């Protein structure tokens, strides 16, 4: 869902100023690109780039997730 209007501008102003996002004007709209190499600002996480955090949220398995395995029947 796109963020529109003044609220959207307020939400991205900080990340653009810090360097997490780059703003590119496309026609009448803005397109934002994340720079995954920028370090996280919190001192405890400063040695980790933003890309590490994003990969935790964007990680996908190569195979689709399957449901629980059926229990095997006991030998008779």
Structure confidence by residue, pLDDT tens digits, 5-29: 566 667 778 788 888 888 899 999 8
What tokens were used for 58?
């964007």
Structural domain that includes position 15? 5-56
Spatial neighbors of 53 by CB under 8 A, at least 6 apart, are 40
Report pLDDT for 26.
92
DSSP tag of 47: T
The pair phi, psi for residue 61, each rounded to 5°, is -75, 155
- Cα–Cα distance, 28 to 31 (Å, whole number): 10
For residue 45, being part of any structural domain is answered with: yes
Bigger pLDDT: 34 or 9?
A: 34
- Cα–Cα distance, 14 to 55 (Å, whole number): 21
For residue 72, being part of any structural domain is answered with: no
For residue 76, being part of any structural domain is answered with: no
For residue 75, being part of any structural domain is answered with: no
Tally of domains within the chain: 1
């Amino acid at each position: 869902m796109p963020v529109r209007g003044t609220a959207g501008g307020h939400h991205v102003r900080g990340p653009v100023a810090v360097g997490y996002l780059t703003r590119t004007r496309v026609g009448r709209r803005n397109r934002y690109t994340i720079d995954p190499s920028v370090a996280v600002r919190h001192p405890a996480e400063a040695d980790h780039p933003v890309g590490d955090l994003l990969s935790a949220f964007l990680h996908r398995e190569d195979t689709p997730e399957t449901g629980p395995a059926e229990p095997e029947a006991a030998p008779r």
